[in-house]
Amino acid sequence: MFGFAIAAALAAAPPGDPCAYDRDRLLSLDQRAFDQDVEGGWRALANDPRCWIAAADLLRDYRQLHQSTASILFWHEGQLRANAGQMDAAIALFEQSRAKQRDPVGWNLYVDGTIAFLRHDRAGLQAARDKLAAVPKPADFHPVDPSGKPVAIAWPPNLNVLDGY
């Protein structure tokens, strides 16, 4: 469901423009609000498949404006581009989303598996999946939500996604 600000922008949009949004407002958000708010950030725009490229472009513009190197922004843009059929661009963005230092949750293996999937490389996908399944759970892995409450996350994260490919 669209957030109020996005719904208002869409209501004021010219007829037939499902991808209209308040660009200045979205680009002014802090990263958490821009990326994680499903009703008020880029995700509201991406709810409509016709707007995947517009949402991907918005993510790109946000990264550039804020000079952000946050891997999750590269990842989310890549997901949208892949959904829109822009596989080469998606793969390049996924490569940029790699963990640069510690990778205790196997993020880079998830990236490897996703890229293998996009390349129709079944053996590569299976190898990444098997390596991810073998990542040991760190003793200090205790995820919490924004309010500090514990969150149940299956270990290892994203294995279910690779299994679903």
73 lies in the same domain as 126: no
* Strands (E) located in 29-161: none
76 lies in the same domain as 104: no
Whether residue 1 has pLDDT greater than 80: no
Q: Are 115 and 98 in contact (CB under 8 A)?
A: no
Average pLDDT on 89-107 reads 96
> In terms of pTM, does the model score above 0.75?
yes
Average pLDDT on 10-38 reads 84
50 lies in the same domain as 108: no
106 lies in the same domain as 26: no
Neighbours of 144 (CB within 10 A): 9
Q: Are 6 and 48 in contact (CB under 8 A)?
A: no
Number of structural domains (the chain) is 2
- Domain stops at, among 64, 87, 110: 87
**129: in domain:** yes
Helix, strand and coil content of the chain, in percent to the nearest 5, comes to: 60, 0, 40
Range of the structural domain that residue 149 is part of: 98-165
